Amino acid sequence: MAEPAKPIIIIKKKGGHGGHHGGAWKVAYADFVTAMMALFIVLWLLNSSKKVQEAVGGYFKDPSGTAKKAGTNQAGSGQNFALTKDDMPKLKDELQKAVRKMADFEQFKNQVEMTITPEGLRIELLESEVGTFFESGSPKPSENGTKLLTMLSTELGGVPNKVMVEGHTDSKPYSGARGYGNWELSADRANSARRLMQANGLRADQVSQVRGYADQALRIAGDPMNSSNRRISVIVQNLNKPDEEKENGAAAEKPDGEKPSPEKKE
């Protein structure tokens, strides 16, 4: 009699695992990818134009984009801030940096003064004995005057503030054409500066006033013949804050000293 067939038993062995590794490798990989992305961004910025660099820098300073941009797309004007009287020091710093970057700065570094006054930022271009920004006895800007006024106009063309331009002379009588004196020269230089600046960045509606003072507003009253009394002044006027505008409007509606009328009693 044949023996019964033996059952065939198949034993499957499961491969062993090295245990649970966790997610630490994912964190390390994410850090590596982030570092590589930052590296590529830096390399891209280093090879980008200055305009792009300023735009990226402006985003990190004001991501919301709600601040008012001071200046145009020119170098030195990419800072974002509101040009009220409290913020004029920022504009002054930006303009001073832009002036220092000019190629001929050493020739006229002592002839440019910027001061903050109650009416705004006053930028003064002071003449020297040989003439610095205008040809001697002429309303025509010199080469340095043209370069500096052009730079200022491109820097100021993007601000919302109004600008005034003033012309001043010393007390030395004008020795040019008959019937043409310091009054005419100061006014013509101011108007010449205005035309040049509007042709190179200032908006058509940005200049509020052009004034010629002759020698009636000397910079150095004790020395009326001093050459620095001959100057062009560009004044960037303050912008009022919203609460100040409301106060000014209320003050205009009710004259000073006027008291509210007493309530009528019945």
149 and 199 Cβ atoms separated by less than 8 Å: no
Single-letter amino acid, residue 165 = V
If one counts every other C-beta atom within 10 angstroms of the C-beta of residue 76, the result is 20
167 and 213 Cβ atoms separated by less than 8 Å: yes
Per CATH, the homologous superfamily of domain 67-250 is OmpA-like domain (3.30.1330.60)
If one counts every other C-beta atom within 10 angstroms of the C-beta of residue 132, the result is 22
125 and 112 Cβ atoms separated by less than 8 Å: yes
| Residues 24-46: tens digit of each pLDDT | 888 888 889 999 988 888 888 88
Nearest alpha-carbon partner for 111 in 219, 238, 192, 189: 219
68 band by pLDDT with thresholds 50, 70 and 90: very low
| Residues 161-203: tens digit of each pLDDT | 999 999 999 999 988 778 899 999 999 999 999 999 999 999 9
108 and 148 Cβ atoms separated by less than 8 Å: yes
Q: How far apart are CA 229 and CA 175, in angstroms?
A: 17
Q: Which residues pair with 145 in a beta bridge?
A: none
The domain ranges of the chain are 26-65, 67-250
- Entry pTM: 0.63
